[in-house]
Chains A and B, each alone.
Chain A
Amino acid sequence: NAGVTQTPKFQVLKTGQSMTLQCAQDMNHEYMSWYRQDPGMGLRLIHYSVGAGITDQGEVPNGYNVSRSTTEDFPLRLLSAAPSQTSVYFCASSPGLSNEQFFGPGTRLTVL
């Protein structure tokens, strides 16, 4: 099993550009989530999904969209990138909310 995979590993954007961060898991987990990690702060939940077709907002959803058309994939879209979105983004999956979270390797995003 590959576990949770994320692409790209690194990305540089200009302010106003849009892009999609990809996340996939091959463990048949129902629960998937996106976090951002900034220096001096804990991981903050952006959006999450409890199953295909179901998504909900987390703590910091503004500026991001998600969709969950399949169990395996959970892409994160930046609509119009801003310097405040410079961060490390982690996707995670788990069998359920109370279970161990399996994280992808992260995407390091810089917005100029």
Chain B
Amino acid sequence: RKEVEQDPGPFNVPEGATVAFNCTYSNSASQSFFWYRQDCRKEPKLLMSVYSSGNEDGRFTAQLNRASQYISLLIRDSKLSDSATYLCVVQDSWGKLQFGAGTQVVVTP
């Protein structure tokens, strides 16, 4: 079983719509959680950290559910520029980062 699992998608989203997707992790002792964004054939870049109480950054909202061991990302008012692959990253208790394979989002006009 993978330590971090994501629905690969693609999630096809009309421009202006809302899309949400989850990431599950297997290590209950995981310490920190992040969402990275990766454009096609580019390097990953940090989108946002995920805090226990949930957090927003503009149109992006991240939530953590420790009891069910998943994190989520919601994108409101989707823009064409939001088309990308979103990587879930979990830091384990030894400080090592575990990456999910990514969820592809395609925003269509």
Query: Taking A41-B101, A42-B100, A45-B97 as contacts, is the C-beta distance between A97 and B91 under 8 angstroms?
Result: yes
Q: Which of B40-48, B57-65, B73-81 forms contacts with chain A?
A: B40-48
A49 to chain B, nearest CB (A): 13
Point out the residues of chain A lying under 8 angstroms from B91, CB to CB. 97-98
Q: Is the CB of A40 within 8 A of B101?
A: yes
Give the interface SS of chain A, mostly helix, strand, loop or mixed: loop
B64 to chain A, nearest CB (A): 16
A to B contact number (C-beta, < 8 Å): 42
Query: Taking A40-B8, A40-B101, A98-B91 as contacts, is the C-beta distance between A45 and B43 under 8 angstroms?
Result: no
Question: Which residue from chain A places its CB closest to the CB of B5 in the assembled complex?
Answer: A42
Point out the residues of chain B lying under 8 angstroms from A106, CB to CB. 41-43
User: Which one of A90, A100, A104 lies within 8 Å of B46 (CB-CB)?
Assistant: A100
Point out the residues of chain B lying under 8 angstroms from A87, CB to CB. none
User: Which one of B31, B42, B99 lies within 8 Å of A42 (CB-CB)?
Assistant: B99
Point out the residues of chain A lying under 8 angstroms from B4, CB to CB. 42
Q: Is A103 an interface residue (CB 8 A)?
A: yes
Q: What are 16 A-B residue pairs whose CB atoms fall within 8 Å in the complex? A: A41-B101, A42-B2, A42-B87, A42-B102, A43-B87, A44-B99, A90-B43, A97-B95, A97-B96, A98-B91, A98-B95, A101-B46, A101-B97, A103-B44, A104-B43, A106-B42
